[in-house]
Amino acid sequence: MNSFDHPINAVVQGASRGLGLALVEQLLNSDQLAGLVATCRRPRQADELQALAQRAEGRLAVTGLDVTDEEQIAEAAAFTAEQFDELHLLFNVAGILHDETRDIFPEKKLDDVQPASAMYNFRVNALGPLLVMKHFVGLLADDQRAVIANISAKVGSIGANEMGGWYSHRGSKAAQNMFTRTAALEFKHHKKTRNAVCVGLYPGTMDTALSAPFQTNIPKDQIFSPARAADQLLEVIDKLDPTDSGGFFDWRGEPVQW
Ligand SMILES: NC(=O)c1ccc[n+]([C@@H]2O[C@H](COP(=O)([O-])OP(=O)(O)OC[C@H]3O[C@@H](n4cnc5c(N)ncnc54)[C@H](OP(=O)(O)O)[C@@H]3O)[C@@H](O)[C@H]2O)c1
């Protein structure tokens, strides 16, 4: 991170594994990081995250946050306010594509669509980041550079959808993209947030549990490790300025079609 001219405080929401955990690790490696709050829904079971916290010499605090529970989101924001005075970087990472324990899988056809599964995708992928923005925006540094990065997916692009399928996941990520852009417009109207950059970021395909069942037809060299994806996204963030707010960018910093 080198786009801030002072030490920064950050939040990574959805940090137990995959991209979120890698972002925590990369941020801790940065000299520019002052404080970091990492949230996940089961902190006591997040062994790798807790191990990072143990080695972080007080720079990393972990707290619980299930994005489907607004009360927990509010509590995590209050916890964050106790850790540091102002927030400069917020990552919304948590996402779902399949969850065998809830009988959630990406649909192949209309007949596969199940209301409960579709609603859960929406609650995690769309409403979750929206409510996190609602509760954390008050912590943003006043009238300064701040970045809100909502991790999205290219399958959430309406214009680039040429394959079909995955109704609930596509729909929930498209909704997330709309929420990102709408919040970005609101931020521009307020003195406190007019320098905030609120974007959707597509990390590319990563080798994580989320994509594991769907990697078969993707060449290995097109699948990033979470560490590489995290690195790439932090580089993209460094290049973003307020005129980019409301945009949707991939791991190279290239705009993604809505
Ligand atoms: N992997 C890819 O190829 C790919 C491609 C495009 C976009 N993305 C996006 O990248 C983001 C990270 O995905 P990933 O690949 O790192 O996935 P992952 O390894 O499966 O991790 C998913 C994360 O989301 C958390 N999560 C799920 N439901 C949650 C909830 N209700 N409340 C709080 N946290 C919850 C999980 O926490 P638990 O440990 O508690 O389950 C876990 O930390 C997602 O938004 C995903 O859509 C991924």
**Ligand 1 center from residue 206 Cα (angstroms):** 11
Ligand 1: residue of 12, 13, 19, 214 to mutate (most ligand atoms within 8 A of CB) is 19
pLDDT value of residue 138: 98
Indicate the average pLDDT of the chain.
97
Please, is 157 exposed, middle or buried when counting C-beta atoms within 10 Å of its C-beta (0-12, 13-18, 19+)?
Answer: buried
Q: What single letter denotes the amino acid at residue 63?
A: T
- Average pLDDT rounded to a whole number, residues 22-42: 98
pTM: 0.98
Buried b (16+ CB within 10 A) or exposed e, 75-94: bbbebbeebbeebbbbbbbb
* Alpha-carbon dihedral sign for residues 183, 188, 189, 190: positive
Residue 106: its pLDDT value, please?
Answer: 98
User: If you average pLDDT over residues 143-172, what whole number do you get?
Assistant: 97
Q: Which residues line ligand 1 (CB under 6 A)?
A: 14, 16-20, 40-42, 66-68, 93-96, 124, 151, 153, 203, 205-206, 208-211
Å from CA of 96 to ligand 1 middle: 6
How do residues 119-146 score in pLDDT, each as one tens digit? 999 999 999 999 999 999 999 999 999 9
Residue 2 reports pLDDT greater than 90: no
Superfamily classification of domain 8-250: NAD(P)-binding Rossmann-like Domain (3.40.50.720)
| Mean pLDDT in residue range 18-47 | 98
Instruction: Return the best residue to mutate from 210, 223, 224, 251 for the ligand 1 pocket (most ligand atoms within 8 A of CB).
Output: 210
Statement: residue 244 has pLDDT above 90: yes
Can you give the pLDDT at residue 31? 94
- pLDDT for position 1: 82
At 46-83, the pLDDT tens digits run 999 999 999 999 999 999 999 999 999 999 999 999 99
Which pLDDT does position 255 carry in this prediction? 98
* Distance of CA 93 from the midpoint of ligand 1 (Å): 6
d(CA 53, CA 230): 18
pLDDT beyond 90 at 13: yes
Checking if the pLDDT of 242 tops 90, the result is: yes
Kindly state the percentage of the chain with pLDDT values over 70.
Answer: 100
The confidence score (pLDDT) of residue 226 equals: 98
| Digit-coded pLDDT (tens) for 86-123 | 999 999 999 999 999 999 999 999 999 999 999 999 99
Q: What is the pLDDT of residue 165?
A: 98
